[in-house]
């Protein structure tokens, strides 16, 4: 009877509708945004700079996001697909997402809202066009020739597989010295190349950037990244993209000396628990599952690659996706990164753009999904902030799809992903007595809650009914006066 259901879309939508509404967009707070413990990253994939700036002011800051991760800002090859951003034509900060001045203004605006900026830095390679061309900002380039930047001697030619391409991920040399999908692979062991890459990153640091997501990190030896890091003009947050592959010689743990690393197993396993196994198994989710140490990991339900490649939950899963993000934001493993997508039907489809492929301003009702604004996800960011440093306590599960846990003394989440409501029972939250906003169904602001209020008694218990595929969450940052 507990075999996993195949939910009809219509049925699921009815039940989880409340999980999908976007949160109210509040006016920016008068006081400066709080700082310190805000760890949650919002990946505003392919957003242009003016739209990122206003989102920092209107949503990310007020909702408590600590970081915004933006798509690659450097000049790229021309075209409509989103992935042109991953083919640098030069290091000019000029792209379909905006000019250098717009980028600078975005960084300043985000900082004023208390949000730090992480840049997706493409440094393993340049373009993949055999015939070269002209980049977005007018720079001409050849496959192995970027005037004033790199010439043929600055690239690897591994001489394997007929076209220098990577085929065998069980061969360390090949993964790091051959070409990832024909992308001209930089000689990151050369001091000149390292200095040139550091020059680009230092330019971004001079614009106020706070950190980098290092694209294709697995394709660069950890020592090469360390050497580039050593050339940075000041310290910056680093998160390295190293996709775990079972049995591969290059392991994510090799990179933790440089900074954080993305834990790709997290989203895949979480999807499996929701889709075909049991939420009860999440009791020891994290390092005990063989993952990176919590303090070195960035956790995510999906990112721009995995949402296209499958095997994870995405916005297309609706309520399950909201619940998976709620779990991630409540559970103390790694630094959580929330994905924010443009809607797509084809893998290569670019973001909403004009006839010249310039990215249009984001509108969260058309062409863009804005998962980071979904009520459940946006409100659980404040839960994450309010519970920093508190251990998991009071774990409960029914053996299957109903789980609950507290973050000692600060917050409590219960998820019921059964196909039936759980009614007439109480939960031990262990938070101070009082009235709390159920932030899964209501927004908290100015001392009031737009949804259901949960009353915790003097012994730390509360009573609640929880619908099928739904949840309840309370935390001390959303306690009514």
Minimum CB separation of residue 383 from ligand LM2 in Å reads 29
Catalytic residue annotation: 215, 241
Site string for ligand LM2, 206-245 (x = CB under 6 A): ---------xx------------------------x----
Tell whether residue 181 is a contact of ligand LM2 (CB under 6 A). yes
Minimum CB separation of residue 39 from ligand LM2 in Å reads 22
Distance CA 189, CA 124 (A): 11
Among 47, 49, 86, 150, binds ligand LM2 (CB under 6 A): 86
Tell whether residue 87 is a contact of ligand LM2 (CB under 6 A). yes
* Closer to Ca ion by Cβ: residue 104 or 251: 251
Distance CA 76, CA 136 (A): 6
Tokens describing residue 100 = 């250098």
Stretch binding ligand LM2 (CB under 6 A), from 41-49, 80-88, 246-254, 407-415: 80-88
Minimum CB separation of residue 81 from ligand LM2 in Å reads 7
Q: Number of helices (H) and strands (E) in the chain: give both, helices first.
A: 11, 20
Residue 258 binds what, of ligand LM2, Ca ion, none (CB under 5 to 8 Å, by partner type)? Answer: none
* Closer to ligand LM2 by Cβ: residue 168 or 388: 168
Tell me which residue of 14, 49, 113, 12 sits closest to 360, measured CA to CA.
Answer: 49
Among 54, 182, 256, 398, binds ligand LM2 (CB under 6 A): 182
Residue 87 binds what, of ligand LM2, Ca ion, none (CB under 5 to 8 Å, by partner type)? Answer: ligand LM2
How many chain residues bind ligand LM2 (CB under 6 A)? 14
Tell whether residue 43 is a contact of ligand LM2 (CB under 6 A). no
**Cβ–Cβ < 8 Å for 59, 111:** no
Residue 185 binds what, of Ca ion, ligand LM2, none (CB under 5 to 8 Å, by partner type)? Answer: Ca ion
* Closer to ligand LM2 by Cβ: residue 191 or 305: 305
Distance CA 323, CA 252 (A): 27
DSSP β-ladder status, 444-445 and 448-449: antiparallel
Q: Give 50-54's long-range contacts (Cβ < 8 A, gap of 24+).
A: 50/98, 50/102, 50/105, 50/106, 50/361, 51/361, 51/362, 52/106, 52/110, 53/105, 53/106, 53/109, 53/110, 54/109
Tokens describing residue 195 = 């200095």
* Closer to Ca ion by Cβ: residue 219 or 372: 219
Report the b/e string of 378-394 with b at 16+ CB within 10 A.
bbbbbbbbbbeebebee
Minimum CB separation of residue 46 from Ca ion in Å reads 24
Tokens describing residue 330 = 């409540």
Q: Which residues bind Ca ion (CB under 5 A)?
A: 124, 176, 185, 219
Minimum CB separation of residue 117 from ligand LM2 in Å reads 18
Among 122, 322, 328, 378, binds ligand LM2 (CB under 6 A): 122
Among 49, 83, 266, 285, binds ligand LM2 (CB under 6 A): 83
Query: Closest-CB residue for ligand LM2?
Result: 128
Tell whether residue 180 is a contact of ligand LM2 (CB under 6 A). yes
**Cβ–Cβ < 8 Å for 136, 89:** yes
Is 399 buried (19+), middle (13-18) or exposed (0-12) by CB count in 10 A?
A: exposed
* Closer to Ca ion by Cβ: residue 219 or 479: 219
Minimum CB separation of residue 126 from ligand LM2 in Å reads 10
* Closer to ligand LM2 by Cβ: residue 120 or 210: 120
Q: How many CB atoms lie within 10 A of CB 251?
A: 15
**Cβ–Cβ < 8 Å for 165, 242:** no
Residue 154 binds what, of Ca ion, ligand LM2, none (CB under 5 to 8 Å, by partner type)? Answer: none
Minimum CB separation of residue 251 from ligand LM2 in Å reads 16
How big is the CA angle at 264 (ends 74 and 225), to the nearest 5 degrees? 50
DSSP assignment of 408-449 equals TTTEEEEEE-SSS-EEEEEEE--S-SEEEE-TTT--EETTEE
* Closer to ligand LM2 by Cβ: residue 130 or 457: 130
Among 22, 28, 50, 128, binds ligand LM2 (CB under 6 A): 128
Stretch binding ligand LM2 (CB under 6 A), from 10-18, 82-90, 259-267, 421-429: 82-90
Length of the chain: 481
**Cβ–Cβ < 8 Å for 479, 434:** yes
Residue 43 binds what, of Ca ion, ligand LM2, none (CB under 5 to 8 Å, by partner type)? Answer: none
Kind plus residue range of the DSSP H or E element containing 407: strand 402-407
Residue ranges binding ligand LM2 (CB under 6 A):
83, 86-87, 122, 128-129, 180-183, 215-216, 241, 305
């Amino acid at each position: 009877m507990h075999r996993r259901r195949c939910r009809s879309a219509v049925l699921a939508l009815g039940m989880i509708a409340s999980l999908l509404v976007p949160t109210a967009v509040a006016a920016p707070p008068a006081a400066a945004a709080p700082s310190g413990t805000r760890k949650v990253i919002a990946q505003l994939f392919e957003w242009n700079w003016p739209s990122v700036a206003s989102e920092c002011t209107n949503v990310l800051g007020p909702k408590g996001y600590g970081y915004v991760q933006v798509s690659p800002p450097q000049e790229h090859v021309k075209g409509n697909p989103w992935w042109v951003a991953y083919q640098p034509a030069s290091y000019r900060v000029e792209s379909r997402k905006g000019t250098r001045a717009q980028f600078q203004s975005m960084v300043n605006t985000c900082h004023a809202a208390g949000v730090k900026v992480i840049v997706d830095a493409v440094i393993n390679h340049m373009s993949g066009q055999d015939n070269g061309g002209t980049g977005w900002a007018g720079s001409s380039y050849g496959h192995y020739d970027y005037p004033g930047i790199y010439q043929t001697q600055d690239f690897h030619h591994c001489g394997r597989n007929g076209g220098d391409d990577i085929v065998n991920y069980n061969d360390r040399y090949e993964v790091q010295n051959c070409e990832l999908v024909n992308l001209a692979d930089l000689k990151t062991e050369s001091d000149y190349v390292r200095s040139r890459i550091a020059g680009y990153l230092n330019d971004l640091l001079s614009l106020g950037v706070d950190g980098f997501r290092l694209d294709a990190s697995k394709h660069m030896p950890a020592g090469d990244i360390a050497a580039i890091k050593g050339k940075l003009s000041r310290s910056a947050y680093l998160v390295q993209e190293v996709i775990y592959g079972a049995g591969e010689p290059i392991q994510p743990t090799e990179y933790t000396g440089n900074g954080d690393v993305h834990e790709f197993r997290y989203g895949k396993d979480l999807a499996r628990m929701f889709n075909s196994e049991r939420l009860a198994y999440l009791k020891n989710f994290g390092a005990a599952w063989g993952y990176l140490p919590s303090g070195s990991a960035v956790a995510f339900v999906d990112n721009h690659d995995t949402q296209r490649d499958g095997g994870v939950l995405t916005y297309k899963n609706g309520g399950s996706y909201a619940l998976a993000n709620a779990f991630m934001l409540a559970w103390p493993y790694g630094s959580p990164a929330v994905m924010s997508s443009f809607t797509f039907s084809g893998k290569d489809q670019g973001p909403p753009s004009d006839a010249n492929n310039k990215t249009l301003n984001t509108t969260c009702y058309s062409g863009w999904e804005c998962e980071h604004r979904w009520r459940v996800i946006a409100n659980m960011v404040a839960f994450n902030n309010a519970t920093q440093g508190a251990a998991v306590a009071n774990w409960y599960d029914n053996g299957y799809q109903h789980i609950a846990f507290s973050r000692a003394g600060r917050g409590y989440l219960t998820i019921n992903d059964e196909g039936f409501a759980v009614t007439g029972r109480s939960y031990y939250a262990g938070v101070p007595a009082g009235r709390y906003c159920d932030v899964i169904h209501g927004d908290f602001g100015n001392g009031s809650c737009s949804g259901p209020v949960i009353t915790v008694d003097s012994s730390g218990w509360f009573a609640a009914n929880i619908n099928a595929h739904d949840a309840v969450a309370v935390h001390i940052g959303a306690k009514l006066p």
